[in-house]
Amino acid sequence: MKKKTVYIWMGTIVGLTVVLFAVIYFLHLQDKAVKVASAVKGGPPTLSFYIQGDMSSPLDKPMDVAKIGQFVYVTDTNHKQVQVFDSTGTPIFKFGTQGTGEGQFQFPYGITGDKDGNVYVADLYNNRISIFDSKGKFLKYFTDENQKPDFLKSPGGLRIVNNNLWVTDIQLGKVFEYDLKGKKLLELSTAVDKDDPLNAPNAVAVDSDHNIYVSDTGNQRLVVYDKAGKFKRVINGSIDGKGDSKFVNPRGIGVEGNGTLLMIDNMTHYLYGFDKKGKQVFQIGGLGADKDQFYLPNGLFIDDKGEIFITDTVNQRVAVYY
């Protein structure tokens, strides 16, 4: 082959390579721009993929989810265990068995993690919160100031925010804030006034302004408080929260970086988004197993990158959105 021909072929290959990388980079920028635009406008998120577990042990009634470090931890409630996945949804390991002893569960529900990667799991029926290391080794029970692990009646939702633990007690109808040594910092039990008690509060979230959000499940509403626990407003899908609620069993909640409040409604099977004033900005979902559909969804978690994880209990999966 002549040198000129060789040079022509080499130039063509180089040119095609440059074009290919340019296309890939352009698509990357487009994808990033779409994500940024979605985050800024507070619009509905985009489905990325599902986490379902492996063929031998698929999730069975996943109730809550949290990304702790690089791993995604899911309470696999009917299996009485926690399943752990990498960021792509690949199963890594699992821990927990049925029982009442250390490292065992009867109804693992809420899950969260601290800055050291330790995993906190609320057991609704064993009336306690167990703490594990990142690899699933049982460390201890979370206790109150009296060193009692059973100081709660039915711990449900868990979130660690600013190194403090928030927990909902479904049976007591209360929401608590503790430091990680077990000292109680705040207790919420009512909404508008003392004659308006919370009823089976299920999940709790705190935004960057330290506003507190509670899914008051039995009252079919979300309740918003300021950082001191003073009532601010009710969100129920009606104008100013003063009309009949459109929710049926509101469950998992979280706040995006732009301030949009997300809530998953268990029995209408919808994901709702609300602005900072409580006005609805989007609604997606509905009963089913197709894309953007749910069947009795329960838990919701937003990581520091803005990814959204939703446990879809009957569909036996976790839907991951961005």
**Burial degree of 11 (CB within 10 A; 0-12, 13-18, 19+):** exposed
3-state SS, the chain, equals CCHHHHHHHHHHHHHHHHHHHHHHHHHHHHHHHHHHHHHHHCCCCCEEEEECEECCEECCCEEEEEEECCEEEEEEHHHCEEEEECCCCCEEEEECEECCCCCEECCEEEEEECCCCCEEEEECCCCEEEEECCCCCEEEECCCCCCCCCCCCCEEEEEEECCEEEEEECCCCEEEEEECCCCEEEEECECCCCCCECCCEEEEEECCCCCEEEEEHHHCEEEEECCCCCEEEEECCCHHHCCCCCCCCEEEEEECCCCCEEEEECCCCEEEEECCCCCEEEEEECECCCCCCECCEEEEEECCCCCEEEEECCCCEEEEEC
Query: CB neighbours (10 Å) of residue 94?
Result: 19
Q: How far apart, in whole angstroms, are the C-alpha atoms of residue 36 and residue 2?
A: 51
pLDDT of residue 55: 84
pLDDT of residue 95: 98
pTM of this structure: 0.87
Comparing CA positions, the residue from 233, 118, 197 lying closest to residue 165 is 118
Comparing CA positions, the residue from 280, 242, 247 lying closest to residue 261 is 280
Q: How far apart, in whole angstroms, are the C-alpha atoms of residue 240 and residue 69?
A: 38
| Domains along the sequence of the chain with CATH | 1-30 (no CATH), 42-321 (2.120.10.30)
pLDDT per 10-residue tile (average), the chain, 322 residues: 48 45 39 43 88 91 98 98 97 98 98 98 98 98 95 98 98 98 98 97 97 98 98 95 96 97 98 96 98 98 97 98 96
pLDDT of residue 320: 98
